[in-house]
Amino acid sequence: MTPDRRAVLAGLAALPLATAARADAPTQGRLVEHPAMASAHIQPRDVTVWLPPGYDASDARWPVLYMHDGQNLFDASRAPYGAEWGVDEHVARLAVTGQIRTPVVVGIGNTPLRLREYIPANLIAALPDDMRADVQAIYGGEPLSDGYLRFLVEELKPFIDATYRTRPGRDDTVIMGSSMGGLISMYALMKHPEVFGAAGCVSTHWPIRIEQLTDPAALAAWRDRLTEAWTGVVRADLPPPGTHRLYFDRGDESLDAFYAEFQTRIDATVRAAGWTPDRFRSLVFPGAEHNEASWNQRLDAPLTFLLPPV
């Protein structure tokens, strides 16, 4: 049994009964709030750190899972749409059964500039000139993602490693998000492969143009040009195979129904670069929609792939 799993078991055994807690609030582990964390690169934002059961009862060091859209991770009462990922429950359960390396989870709150902070700047730069302004308009302006990643790498991660007992190395540093959070997770792995050892991209939001959905031919032509540009970036910027882990998934209902062709071509690009199933996975969940409830239901899949036990 690994040290962090022993600590988890001890911590779970010591937990009091949650008699006064809200039913949707975390009942395992402990949340630490860092409100309005300042940055030299982006707007301030709330950061919530979840310490797993056993953290306080041991001197063990822990991997770290950084997750975007931090409002949606632990407590439905904080989530804008009234549903949460249930990250704490999933991690605690998988840890007890030895299916993952137990992480500290860092939830990074989003802001009104979320779309611009999460759209990868290199993907926008790769677009043909006549498409760039069109695509930027979908996200509300020029990308702010490089500044967001500087916050993660230069400010947030050093703070987390100095404040908590972490394993700071690349292989113990994972990043994950859904929708646009999937895109920025992929970008983090491509731009900072020395920092992030694995990325989870859940229901990744490849661009669509709502006004073109009634004109399939126009949409297909637009999507083909964009996909060609973006697969070129992925081909050029992904780390070499065998060194990192990359996870994609999608449903086939609601917004996810529009991602199939784009995701299939990205998958083919990654596999053609030599990424094998032990390091790259792309799953489809029939009937799953583009929302927190669906991501909660399948969260075990990315967690067990990205944080396998040693």
To the nearest whole number, what is the mean pLDDT of the chain?
A: 89
3-state SS, residue 283 = strand
CA dihedral sign, ordered 196, 197, 203, 208: positive
Burial of residue 137 (CB within 10 Å: 0-12, 13-18, 19+) is exposed
132, pLDDT greater than 60: yes
| Rounded percentage of the chain residues whose pLDDT exceeds 90 | 75
Q: Apex CA 251: angle with CA 205 and CA 210, to 5°?
A: 45
pLDDT band at 210 (very low <50, low <70, confident <90, very high): low
> What is the pTM assigned to this prediction?
0.90
For 97-135, letters b (16+ CB in 10 Å) and e give eebbbbbbbbbbbbeebbbbbbbbbbbbebbeeebeeeb
pLDDT bucket at 21, cuts 50 / 70 / 90: very low
- Give residue 205's pLDDT: 94
pLDDT recorded at residue 1 = 40
Q: Which residue has the higher pLDDT, 46 or 13?
A: 46
Range with the lowest mean pLDDT among 61-70, 72-81, 143-152, 208-217? 208-217
pLDDT of residue 24: 46
- Burial (CB count <10 Å: 0-12, 13-18, 19+), residue 59: exposed
Q: What is the pLDDT of residue 3?
A: 41
The Cα 273–Cα 268 span in angstroms is 9
Q: Which contiguous run of DSSP H or E holds residue 46?
A: strand 45-51
Q: What is the pLDDT of residue 48?
A: 97
pLDDT over threshold 90, residue 184: yes
Is 33 in a helix, a strand, or coil? strand
pLDDT band at 27 (very low <50, low <70, confident <90, very high): low
Query: For position 216, what pLDDT does the model report?
Result: 77
pLDDT classification of 214: cutoffs 50, 70, 90: low
Query: CB–CB of 96/146 below 8 Å?
Result: no
Question: Residue 9's pLDDT is what?
Answer: 34
Give dist(CA 36, CA 13) in Å, integer.
34
pLDDT at position 75: 81
Half-sphere exposure of 54 (CA within 13 A, CB side): 21
How many other β-carbons are positioned within 10 Å of the β-carbon of residue 39?
A: 16
Which structure tokens are listed for 62?
Answer: 């822990």
Reported confidence tier of residue 213, pLDDT bands at 50, 70, 90: low
More confident of the two residues 269 and 310: 269
20-43 mean pLDDT: 78
CA separation for the pair 168, 100 (Å, rounded): 17
User: In this prediction, what percent of the chain has a pLDDT beyond 70?
Assistant: 88
Q: How far apart are CA 53 and CA 189, in angstroms?
A: 28
Q: What is the tens place of the pLDDT at every residue in 46-104? A: 999 999 999 999 999 999 999 999 998 998 777 676 678 899 999 999 999 999 999 99
- pLDDT for the residue 223: 83
CB 149 within 8 A of CB 188: yes
Using alpha carbons only, what angle is made at residue 106 by residues 80 and 87, rounded to the nearest 5 degrees? 60
Instruction: Tell which residue, 59, 2, 20, has the closest CA to residue 310.
Output: 2
Q: What pLDDT is attached to residue 215? A: 75
Q: Which of 213-217, 270-274, 281-285 has the lowest mean pLDDT?
A: 213-217
- Helix residue spans in the chain (DSSP H): 3-13, 87-96, 114-118, 121-125, 129-139, 145-150, 157-163, 180-191, 216-237, 260-272, 292-297, 300-306
Under the banding of pLDDT at 50, 70 and 90, the label for residue 166 is very high
> Alpha carbon 184 to chain centroid distance?
8
Give the separation between CA 256 and CA 239, rounded to whole angstroms.
Answer: 26
Give the pLDDT band of residue 217 (cuts 50, 70, 90).
Answer: confident
Task: With a cut of 80, say whether residue 260 has pLDDT above it.
Answer: yes
